[in-house]
Amino acid sequence: MKKILVTGALGQIGSELVMHMRSIYGNDNVIATDIRRIDGNVAVESGPFEILDVKDAKRMAEIAKQYNADTIIHLAALLSAVAEAKPVLAWDINMGGLFNALEVARELNCAFFTPSSIGAFGPSTPSVNTPQDTIQRPQTMYGVTKVSGELLCDYYFKKFGVDTRGVRFPGLISYETLPGGGTTDYAVDIYYEALKNHKYSSFIKQGTYMDMMYMPDALNAIVTLMEADPSKLVHRNAFNITAMSFEPSQIAAEIKKHIKDFEISYNVDPVRQAIADSWPDSIDCTAARQEWGFSSKYDLASMTTDMLNKLSGKLNIK
């Protein structure tokens, strides 16, 4: 990876990945793109930035050529809850954008990463210790685009030799940029509300287990996978990875160790609860560990300490 084009660069993952990659590969070698510009944003100000709607194939190719990109990190997509509310738009952006990005990668011979998700699984998937290769019949538009995306990326590798690689991310927890309308977002919101109001009303019901990961581990996973020796990769799109699995009362109990009077209550959103119920409780990431050395550093306790620490600084709450 020498010249890396990132789409969706101002989203939850992109805003941190751009900075992480600029620190490794050099500021000028990571080209951030997003559908909108946010002046003052560190990813916009610290290196090249271009406005790009991923539905615009021509513009995407122009930018990739202009900067001589050899790698595309395609992050622009709608998350699960928004995709359920706007399924047609979700298909357009998630599949149309991916197809355009793969075509650019094919034309310019770029390495390619795009995230899949635990959302690529569905109610008929074994939900505990979900294997790498298993039933994938999701019933959400988000899940449909993620499974289709995995297949399309595998196709581009087999048919055209494009070096496509991906992971199935669990819920990602971070303090820099909020996630944009997912189901696992409760596990981010809870930290903000804990610091601001010492209480949180969860839209996910007690007892609902989902896989999660702290952002530093997710960034590390992307770079490690993209730098991995291709001869070791049996799978490509996409590897199960996870760092922890918990349900709302467990994250609440962990927060309570820091904020003694913190209380969780429940006001369940049926749409997001149904999505969560259709996702695994915990996935097995043996293939990622074996094929490219995936590992994670943060568990629920260490993530909670770091999140509360960083977020209290950001929100200026003592």
Residue with smaller CB distance to ligand SER, 29 or 94: 94
Taking the C-alpha atoms of residue 172 and residue 219, their distance in angstroms, rounded to an integer, is 10
Residue with smaller CB distance to ligand SER, 162 or 204: 204
Residue 58: CB minimum distance to ligand SER, A: 29
| Shortest-Cβ-distance residue relative to ligand SER | 182
To the query of whether residue 142 is one of the catalytic residues in this protein, the response is yes
Residue with smaller CB distance to ligand SER, 29 or 117: 117
Site membership for ligand SER, residue 79 (CB under 6 A): yes
CB 222 within 8 A of CB 73: yes
Taking the C-alpha atoms of residue 195 and residue 310, their distance in angstroms, rounded to an integer, is 11
Taking the C-alpha atoms of residue 62 and residue 248, their distance in angstroms, rounded to an integer, is 45
Site membership for ligand SER, residue 183 (CB under 6 A): yes
Site membership for ligand SER, residue 138 (CB under 6 A): no
Taking the C-alpha atoms of residue 219 and residue 18, their distance in angstroms, rounded to an integer, is 10
Binding residue for ligand SER, selected from 117, 174, 237, 245, defined by CB under 6 A = 117
Residue with smaller CB distance to ligand SER, 100 or 184: 184
Query: Tokens 């997912």 — which residue?
Result: 182
Site membership for ligand SER, residue 203 (CB under 6 A): no
Q: What letters, b where the CB count within 10 A reaches 16 and e where it falls short, cover 123-143? A: eebebeebebeeebebebbbb
Taking the C-alpha atoms of residue 70 and residue 78, their distance in angstroms, rounded to an integer, is 25
Angle between helix 186-197 and 248-256 (nearest 10): 30
CB 4 within 8 A of CB 73: yes
Site membership for ligand SER, residue 8 (CB under 6 A): no
Taking the C-alpha atoms of residue 230 and residue 73, their distance in angstroms, rounded to an integer, is 17
Site membership for ligand SER, residue 282 (CB under 6 A): no
Site membership for ligand SER, residue 202 (CB under 6 A): no
Binding residue for ligand SER, selected from 184, 208, 237, 242, defined by CB under 6 A = 184
Binding residue for ligand SER, selected from 171, 236, 262, 308, defined by CB under 6 A = 171
Of 63-71, 112-120, 153-161, 214-222, which segment contacts ligand SER by CB under 6 A? 112-120
Give residues 20-39 in contact with ligand SER (rule: CB under 6 A): none
Site membership for ligand SER, residue 246 (CB under 6 A): no
Of 91-99, 182-190, 225-233, 253-261, which segment contacts ligand SER by CB under 6 A? 182-190
Taking the C-alpha atoms of residue 100 and residue 163, their distance in angstroms, rounded to an integer, is 16
Chain-centroid distance, C-alpha 228 = 19
Taking the C-alpha atoms of residue 75 and residue 16, their distance in angstroms, rounded to an integer, is 12
Among candidate residues 25, 67, 142, 175, the one labeled active-site is: 142
Active site residues: 142
Q: Which residues bind ligand SER (CB under 6 A)?
A: 79-80, 117-119, 169, 171, 182-184
